[in-house]
Amino acid sequence: MSHSPDPDEDDLSTIPAPHPVFHAEQALLGALLLDPRLLGDVPGISADAFSTAAHASLFAAISALPPPDPAEHAKSAAWLNQVLAAAREEARGLSASYLHTLIQVCPWPRHAPAYARMVEAEHARRQLRAAADRLVQTVHDASLPEPVQAVLAEADALTVTVGDIATRFPPRAGILPRTPVPPPDAAADPAEAVEEEQLLLATATARPADIESVRWLLAEDFTQPLHAGLWQCLTTLVRRHEPVDPVTVLWEAQQRGLLHTGSEPGDVLRLLAEPAGSVEHWGRRALTRSLLATVDHAGRRIAAYADDPMTTPFQLVAGARRSLADLGAIRTRWQHATGHSLPQTVRAARAGPAARRAPTVSPPARPVAAGRTP
């Protein structure tokens, strides 16, 4: 006869298995409870590195209480009782039996530094994931009065987080994450983007002399391949000092194969024949949209790296820095377009921990082989 579960019966099958770092935390805490002197072998780790409130409270209590006499600790549970009492002020569910469980599950107390490194690595992963999430959420927050400034502030915060992680896990040359990169997200309002890009192209065709003032705008900033190709046609004609009008742009588009993708000549002529506003205005709009899309893609890419358990902390740093470098290029162009400068504190954060330290005499750097990431 089949068993009918009681509504009040716990269904243990629905409880997810703990992550490997949970066992590393247990092993580390067990080692410290067995031999509190090992705390000196795990410098740099703090209570917020632990994944549960109970573990964080226990580590905080162990760190705050004076270590017991080793001989006395071997005979008495007095210090363990003090740790439990202090930890229960923040985690009421802790019990003496759990402390004994921690001691029992610790394989080798002398491996405490290795356990601490595992805990620290997973903490770095959570930090990076949280910073990337905040960045992506800011990109999509339609309530912000200054969206670009808010997004760049979050990008700076993410840069600082990556720099802090790099001090603990310096990236190794040539080691990048193997996590598949998520595809770029679709534009929030594709119809608006298409309309504004068409106005930009038409206005630039009518006033080609103004194209020189938006040299910071690139074909990659357009959302439509045809629009990107037409912008290249316009900039090429201007650079050659050739006549610019809808017909000459159409001819250049034919030479570049843009009309082989289903675009009709009449449609292109009509697109280029309705100018409005200024080239600089529409150019800034296109660049801003491109910057936000780049930030969104960088944030989601870094989040994907952090979500991949096979990505090491060294790869996380290398991959995040590569993503932020892609963002840095378009950010520089946006600053040229708008006149905004990069704060000195952000420059220092981008430069990394070595640039913020006092200069020291060091031997000449070895040359980096071609194709390798320094």
Q: Is the separation of the CB atoms in 238 and 212 below 8 Å?
A: yes
Of 286, 333, 295, whose CA–CA distance to 154 is shortest? 295
Helix, strand, or coil (residue 236): helix
Whether residue 194 sits in one domain with residue 69: no
Q: CB within 8 A of 266, min separation 6: which ones?
A: none
d(CA 205, CA 230) in angstroms, rounded, equals 10
CA 204 – CA 236 distance, rounded (Å): 13
Identify whether 363 is part of a domain.
no
Provide the whole-model pTM.
0.78
Domain annotation covers residue 11: no
- B/e letters for 25-50, b = 16+ CB within 10 Å, e = fewer, are bbbbbbbbbbbbebbeebeebebebb
CA of residue 109 relative to chain centroid, distance: 35
Q: What is the pLDDT of residue 352?
A: 47
Which of 287, 315, 342 is the last residue in one of the domains?
287
4 inside domain: no
Q: Are residues 151 and 299 in the same domain?
A: yes
Same domain, 234 and 268: yes
CA dihedral angle for residue 210, residue 214, residue 215, residue 218, rounded to 10 degrees? -120
Task: Evaluate whether 331 touches 323 at the Cβ level (below 8 Å).
Answer: no
**What tens digit of pLDDT does each residue of 248-287 get?**
999 999 999 988 777 789 999 999 999 999 999 999 999 9
**Residue 116 identity:** A
The residue out of 107, 135, 169 marking a domain boundary is 107
Quick one: pLDDT at residue 8? Answer: 45
Quote the pLDDT of residue 305: 94
Identify whether 321 is part of a domain.
Answer: yes
Give the pLDDT score at 187: 57
Among 51, 56, 62, 59, residue whose Cα is nearest residue 20: 51
Within a domain: 141:
yes
Residue 69: give its domain's CATH number: 1.10.860
Alpha carbon of residue 115 to chain centroid? 26
Number of domains in the chain: 3
Domain encompassing residue 151:
119-182+295-351
CA distances from 315 to 132, 176, 214, 251, 374 (A): 16, 5, 37, 48, 13
Cα 94 from chain centre: 35
pLDDT of residue 341: 59
Which long-range contacts does 334-343 make (Cβ < 8 Å, 24+ apart)? 334/148, 334/216, 334/287, 334/288, 334/291, 336/216, 337/214, 337/216, 337/217, 337/283, 337/284, 337/287, 338/284
* Positions in the chain whose pLDDT score sits under 50: 1-14, 343-374
d(CA 99, CA 32): 11
